[in-house]
């Protein structure tokens, strides 16, 4: 597996990370703990070094499963986890207050059976807590040696910039990684974040590279499917069938199908490789439910798509322009480059 720097840091990550969101989760979407442990070992054996979890995943069981699986292998692993979503009914068992962060990190460390976290993310913005308070708490955790690097997930662009300016002004730790949904069916982050991350030296760690499974080619045009994660998603969720079942998305599937056939690879490998290839991406976080899915998706590690193939995928999936002032944009870019 290829290695990349995590943003502007000296930390080297495999460019495919393994997500553990459904490990230990009960129900058809989840992976049983013993299977999950085998999957984690197979990923590490294949050369991966970056595991992504969160306190909220499977109510804490994902962290427990991950902690057990890495016992004896901790030193060579980049272990990432997150805080913000509710871990109980209490008003302070959620969010990015100093109160919650300080308790949540101890709970994560205990479940992960480790005494440090390599990459600690704010899982999403907290409108109830000043970002100064959250950043100071994260900075303290770095000083205490409980956290190595900090990151954010799902923030809006202004929130990232606000946080970075607070870090700069107060000499607090800066975010080095940002975790966002990014795939051929979900390219919205290109509007703001790719340039932002490039200018600020932040590494993008995309989640959902298969659009929740849509980009595996296992769903077909027509009625709502009966099997697979997307079939079970509620209508008001992002991965709901009615959001995936669009002409644009089927056009993407058609192009992926031709490339997969021409190259003798799978849809999933094409999808993961497309995301891997995008600017500022440090490590793509894949999600798998079974060992077969892991083996399939890891096939992307050695796949290179040609510029022409990437262009075909880009054309099928492109979004409307957000900043349609071509003259102004080319003028200001030229000035900078000259």
Ligand X SMILES: NC(=O)c1ccc[n+]([C@@H]2O[C@H](COP(=O)([O-])OP(=O)(O)OC[C@H]3O[C@@H](n4cnc5c(N)ncnc54)[C@H](OP(=O)(O)O)[C@@H]3O)[C@@H](O)[C@H]2O)c1
Strands 50-52 and 16-19: parallel
Angle between helices 33-45 and 61-69 (to 10 degrees): 50
Q: In b/e form, how buried is each residue of 152-183, taking b as 16+ CB within 10 angstroms?
A: bbbbeeebbeebbebbeeeebbbbbbbbbbbb
Question: Between 292 and 327, whose beta carbon lies closer to ligand X?
Answer: 292
Stretch that binds ligand X, among 16-24, 89-97, 136-144, 257-265 (CB under 6 A): 16-24
87 Cβ contact list (under 8 Å, min separation 6): 55, 56, 60, 93, 94, 104, 107
* Residue among 57, 120, 121, 182 flagged as catalytic: 57
Distance CA 136, CA 134 (A): 5
Q: Is 268 in the site for ligand X (CB under 6 A)?
A: yes
Instruction: Name residues whose C-beta falls within 8 Å of residue 236's C-beta, 6 or more positions apart in sequence.
Output: none
Q: Which of 293, 300, 305, 309 binds ligand X (CB under 6 A)?
A: 293
Residue closer to ligand X, measured from CB, 110 or 218: 218
- 67 near ligand X, rule: CB under 6 A: no
| 229 contacts ligand X (rule: CB under 6 A) | yes
Q: Is 21 a binder of ligand X (CB under 6 A)? A: yes
Among 108, 209, 278, 305, the residue binding ligand X under the rule CB under 6 A is 209
> With b meaning 16 or more CB within 10 Å and e meaning fewer, what string describes 63-78?
bbbbbbbbeeeeeebb
> Which of 7, 24, 60, 228: binder of ligand X (CB under 6 A)?
228
Could you give the CA distance from residue 283 to residue 11 in angstroms, rounded to a whole number? 12
First to last CA, the chain: 38
Please give the sequence-ordered ranges of beta strands (E in DSSP) within the chain, or none if there are none.
3-5, 12-14, 16-19, 50-52, 78-83, 117-122, 147-153, 175-179, 203-204, 284-287
Number of residues that bind ligand X (CB under 6 A): 29
Please tell me the distance from the alpha carbon of residue 16 to that of residue 20, in angstroms, as a whole number.
Answer: 13
* Piece of 42-50, 209-217, 252-260, 304-312 that binds ligand X (CB under 6 A): 209-217
297 binds ligand X (CB under 6 A): yes
String marking each residue 125-164 x if it binds ligand X according to CB under 6 A: ----------------------------xx----------
In terms of CB distance, is 169 or 202 closer to ligand X?
Answer: 202
- Cα–Cα distances (Å) from 103 to 107, 110, 311, in that order, read 6, 11, 47
| Sole binder of ligand X in the list 63, 118, 296, 309 (CB under 6 A) | 296
Minimum separation from the CB atom of position 216 to ligand X (A): 4
57 is catalytic: yes
Which residue's CB is nearer to ligand X, number 22 or number 327? Answer: 22
Site string for ligand X, 269-288 (x = CB under 6 A): ----------------xxxx
The binding track of 22-51 with respect to ligand X, each residue x by CB under 6 A or -, is x------x----------------------
Residues that bind ligand X (CB under 6 A): 19-22, 29, 52, 153-154, 179, 207-213, 216, 218, 228-229, 268, 285-289, 293, 296-297
Residues identified as active-site: 57
């Amino acid at each position: 597996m290829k290695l990349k720097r995590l943003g502007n840091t000296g930390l080297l990550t495999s460019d495919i990370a393994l997500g553990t969101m459904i490990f230990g989760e009960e129900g058809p979407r989840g992976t049983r703990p013993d299977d999950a442990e085998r999957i984690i070992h197979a990923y590490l054996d294949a050369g991966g070094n970056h595991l992504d979890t969160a306190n909220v995943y499977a109510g804490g069981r994902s962290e427990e499963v991950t902690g057990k699986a890495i016992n004896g292998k901790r030193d060579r692993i980049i272990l990432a986890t997150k805080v913000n979503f509710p871990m109980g009914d209490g008003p302070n068992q959620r969010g990015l207050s100093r109160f919650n962060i300080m308790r949540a990190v101890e709970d994560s460390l205990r479940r992960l059976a480790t005494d440090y976290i390599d990459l600690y993310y704010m899982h999403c913005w907290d409108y109830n807590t000043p970002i100064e308070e959250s950043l100071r708490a994260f900075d303290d955790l770095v000083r205490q040696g409980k956290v190595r690097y900090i990151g954010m997930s799902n923030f809006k662009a202004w929130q990232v910039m606000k946080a970075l300016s607070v870090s700069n002004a107060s000499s607090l730790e800066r975010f080095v990684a940002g975790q966002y949904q990014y795939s051929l069916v979900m390219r919205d982050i290109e509007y703001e974040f790719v340039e932002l991350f490039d200018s600020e030296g932040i590494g993008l760690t995309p989640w959902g590279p298969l659009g929740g499974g849509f980009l595996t080619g296992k769903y077909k045009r027509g009625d709502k499917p009966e099997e697979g994660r997307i079939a079970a998603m509620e209508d008001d969720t992002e991965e709901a069938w009615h959001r995936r079942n669009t002409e644009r998305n089927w056009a993407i599937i058609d192009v992926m199908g031709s490339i997969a056939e021409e190259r003798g690879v799978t849809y999933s490998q094409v999808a993961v490789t497309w995301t891997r290839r995008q600017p500022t991406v440090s490590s793509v976080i894949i999600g798998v439910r079974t060992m077969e899915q892991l083996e399939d998706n890891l096939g992307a590690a050695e796949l290179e798509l040609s510029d022409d193939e990437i262009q075909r995928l880009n054309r099928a999936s492109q979004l409307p322009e957000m900043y349609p002032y071509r003259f102004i944009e080319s003028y200001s870019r030229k000035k900078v480059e000259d």
